[in-house]
Amino acid sequence: MLKRYIIEFGSGIDFHGQDATGAARKAVKDAISHSCLCGLPEIFGMMDLNKMVVDVTVAVPLPEKVDGEQVLAEIPFGCKSIKVVDGGMQVPGLFLPALGDGDDSIIVANACVEVKIALDPFNAEITDGNKS
């Protein structure tokens, strides 16, 4: 049975180049930089952090342009999954073709990173981390 251990939020901005993947990567990096998962080994005895489940949701304009594998590469451990949804913001900025701009848009992404652990409901021991 999976139980949520922590939920973190982050935001990422791509000022030039309209790179939705870059903004999403920054948002995930921002989210995971606000926490330390020391409770996993210290409280639950989880020494293999690849047993945790990490579910990422990213909201960004033009979600079809996001490379989910690149975004998940920001997460160093765990059984990872990503859901990319329409959201975030696209606002006017400064058009500079020398910086790769196709237009004057600034892309803003929001990320939610959920860390879940599998607990045995009868004795609260950590199991193998497979989703139930």
Q: What is the 3-state secondary structure (H, E, C) of the chain?
A: CEEEEEEEEEEEEECCCCCHHHHHHHHHHHHHCCCCCCHHHHCCCCCCHHHCEEEEEEEECCHHHCCHHHHHCCCCCCEEEEEEEECCEEEECCCCHHHCCCCCEEEEEEEEEEEEEEECCCCCCECCCCCC
* Residue 123, pLDDT score: 52
Alpha helix segments (H runs only) across 1-132: 20-32, 39-42, 68-72
Mean per-residue pLDDT over the chain, rounded: 91
Where do the domains of the chain lie, and which CATH numbers do they carry?
2-118 (3.30.1330.20)
Over residues 79-127, the pLDDT tens digits come to: 999 999 999 999 999 999 999 999 999 999 999 999 999 876 545 455 5
How high is the pLDDT of residue 50? Answer: 94
What is the band of 132 on the pLDDT scale with cuts at 50, 70, 90? very low
What pLDDT is attached to residue 105? 96
Q: What is the pLDDT of residue 79?
A: 96
Q: Report the percent of the chain where pLDDT is more than 90.
A: 83
What are the structure tokens assigned to 25, written together? 């990567």
What confidence score (pLDDT) does residue 121 get?
Answer: 52
> For residue 131, what pLDDT is reported?
45
